[in-house]
Chains A and B, each alone.
Chain A
Amino acid sequence: MAEIRVRHHQGGFTLDIACSLDTQWTVIFGPSGAGKSTLLRILAGLITPQSGRISIDGEPLLDTDAKLSLPAGRRGIGFLTQQPALFPHLTAAENVAFGIRHFPLESRRRRIAEMLRFFGADALADRKPAQLSGGERQRVALARALAPNPKLLLLDEPLAALDDASAHDILARLLQLPTRIVYVSHDVAEIWPLPAAVVVLENGLVTATGPLQQVLAPQRDRLLQLLRG
């Protein structure tokens, strides 16, 4: 279980969050500018909030009272956005290897092959990012983020820039993972089938939590009405 209580003020915007993530999939839902990406960056350790406490399974990652903030690389958290951010000078396999350099050589090779295969990217191992399509890059980026076996995978609208076929295929593969996933989106249609809990953010505040289909039913009905004209 992840316990989150953070308060962060930046440029006229205040994020004030207190919530628990106790399901395998949690969707952070809300309009643009609600603070979803900021929350993920705080969880990942890329932003240190002014005050707060974050723990996963009782292990503190951040405790501003105790002046504790584990660096991003020691939190055991994978993070992926719309932009795959693959290292352009490395091949797909080298990208996946980047975070598991400490593995013994043989298990590193096995892990690279396993992760690329899992995301249907095993044929791309020797290609550099410039030789990959958007969907292929995202598959390699997911393989890279998951290779170190993170405790938590943060996905910030990872499928937003992909075509429907790629997005569905990647989502289906993600659903097979045992990893805990926090998934940010503002697209009800995309997240509706997910077996997830939802945390709704508006203007930096949590306005609702609970089972996704239950909490977001009004938004879905409104969307359907709009589609029907």
Chain B
Amino acid sequence: MDLQALALTLRLAAVTTLLLLLLGVPLAFWIVSTRSRLRPLVEALSTLPILLPPTVLGFYLLVLLGPRTIFGRAAIHFLGHPLSFSFAGLVIGSVIYSLPFAVQPLIAGFHSVDPTLIEQARLLGASRWRMLREILLPLSLRSVAAAATLCFTHTVGEFGVVLMIGGDIPGATRTLSIAIYDQVQDFSYADANRTALLLLGFALAALILLYARRSRTGLSHG
């Protein structure tokens, strides 16, 4: 087992999940509450990574983070090194790639809150920020937990984007899914099997946890 890759993968998933919740909550709230004509475009862009092949997203991010763009040059100026082939670059790629897994459950959660509660909060003078903090988030905790679980699990299993942006640098960008690829290339099938089983068990446990949180419907009684 590549423990260094395991630690890096868990760190990447934790940082990505935290950033996605910080970014996804206000974005989902904006999507459910805005009357802007930009809403369909923003929602489509936030969902796009589900449909894009990871290599396409990875390629564009590699170009964007490289020294040929203003963004890439600014990163080199401030950090002293390019974002591509670094942990920070992996985090940026993971955040973009897993964005729909944060935003979509949050949108569903916010939509499920009884609109009369939102009306009452408005009538009682709640600002948009207070509405989000004190009504929508507490009443959507299951969706927040679902978003966090999906983001974490999806990031742990990432391959295409990570390989394109980060390559395969031990301790810096080699995650468990890259480690499996390396182990297969080296014909170390036993090692690859152990690592794959770990990822499989992790994904299954996360899904069981997610579905166990779902409330029972009337159909499941009697």
Q: Which residues of A contact B (CB under 8 A)?
A: 44-46, 71-74, 77-79, 81, 83, 85, 87-89, 98-99, 102, 144-145, 148
Contact = CB atoms under 8 A, between A and B. Distances in A.
A79 B119 CA distance: 10
A36 B138 CA distance: 33
Contacts of A145: 123
B120 interface: yes
A124 B121 CA distance: 21
A79 B117 CA distance: 12
B122 A85 contact: no
Interface string B99-127: 00000000000000010110111111110
A78 B121 CA distance: 11
A144 B114 CA distance: 18
B196 interface: no
B57 interface: no
B135 interface: yes
Which has the most chain A C-beta neighbours within 10 Å: B121, B123, B134, B139?
Answer: B123
B123 A72 contact: yes
Interface in B118-153: 119-126, 134-135, 138-139
Interface of B: 114, 116-117, 119-126, 134-135, 138-139
A46 B123 CA distance: 8
B125 A77 contact: no
A89 B138 contact: yes
B74 to A, nearest CB: 40
Contact of A46 (B114, B122, B135): B122
A83 B122 contact: no
A85 B114 contact: yes
Nearest to A46: B119
A83 B120 CA distance: 11
A94 B160 CA distance: 49
A72 B116 contact: no
A72 B119 CA distance: 9
Contact of B116 (A85, A144, A148): A85
B48 to A, nearest CB: 34
A78 B123 contact: yes
A34 to B, nearest CB: 21
A17 B141 CA distance: 43
Given A85-B116, A87-B117, A71 B122 contact: yes
Given A98-B121, A144-B124, 20 more contacts: A45-B123, A46-B119, A71-B122, A72-B119, A73-B122, A73-B126, A74-B125, A79-B119, A79-B120, A83-B116, A85-B116, A85-B117, A87-B120, A88-B117, A98-B134, A99-B123, A99-B124, A99-B125, A102-B125, A148-B124
B117 A72 contact: no
A127 B14 CA distance: 37
Which has the most chain B C-beta neighbours within 10 Å: A44, A83, A98?
Answer: A98
A88 B120 CA distance: 12
A149 to B, nearest CB: 12
B129 to A, nearest CB: 13
B118 to A, nearest CB: 9
A44 B123 contact: yes
Contacts of B122: 45-46, 71-73
Nearest to B117: A85
Contacts of B135: 87
25 contacts: A44-B123, A45-B123, A46-B123, A71-B122, A72-B123, A73-B123, A73-B124, A74-B125, A77-B123, A79-B119, A79-B120, A85-B116, A85-B117, A87-B117, A87-B121, A87-B135, A88-B117, A89-B138, A98-B124, A98-B126, A99-B123, A99-B125, A102-B125, A144-B124, A148-B124
A223 to B, nearest CB: 31
Nearest to B127: A73
Contacts of A87: 117, 120-121, 135
